[in-house]
Amino acid sequence: MGRSTTVLYAAAGGGGAGGLTPILMIALLFGVMYFMMIRPQQKRRREAEQMQSALAPGDEVVTIGGLYGTVTGVDDDTVLLEVAPGVQTRYARPAIARVVNQAERPETTEPVTEDAEPVKE
């Protein structure tokens, strides 16, 4: 009886690695959650903020409520939309869901310095 009791205790103890496995599983679960949920959500938020900061008059947009309009004015935290001829409404920038058509913007050209030679054709 003494020998079988020792074997049971040895099997139940199992060594120090058994206590580390649950901690590794929890850490793995948090890692998977970060890469599957948190990181993509942060990326979408950054893209939305970038789109909302690039709004300019003439852009056709859709609000989060589904209202289509054309941007007529932009303030620090509000956007003025024309939803029908002569009807303008004011929205918070985060209320703009997406840009349907971007207005034509002039391309930025590099400034010409005095040292530059003219291009000859």
pLDDT of residue 101: 84
pLDDT of residue 65: 93
One pLDDT digit (tens) per residue for the chain, 121 residues? 555 555 545 445 555 557 889 999 999 999 999 999 999 999 999 999 999 889 999 999 999 999 999 999 999 899 999 999 999 999 999 999 999 988 776 665 555 555 555 555 4
Burial class (CB in 10 A: 0-12, 13-18, 19+), 95: middle
Rounded (to 5) percent helix, strand, coil in the chain: 40, 25, 35
pLDDT of residue 19: 84
What SS3 state is found at 43? helix
pLDDT of residue 4: 52
- The domain ranges of the chain are 54-101
Q: For the domain bounded by 54-101, which CATH number is listed?
A: 2.30.30.30
Structure pTM?
Answer: 0.58
pLDDT of residue 46: 94
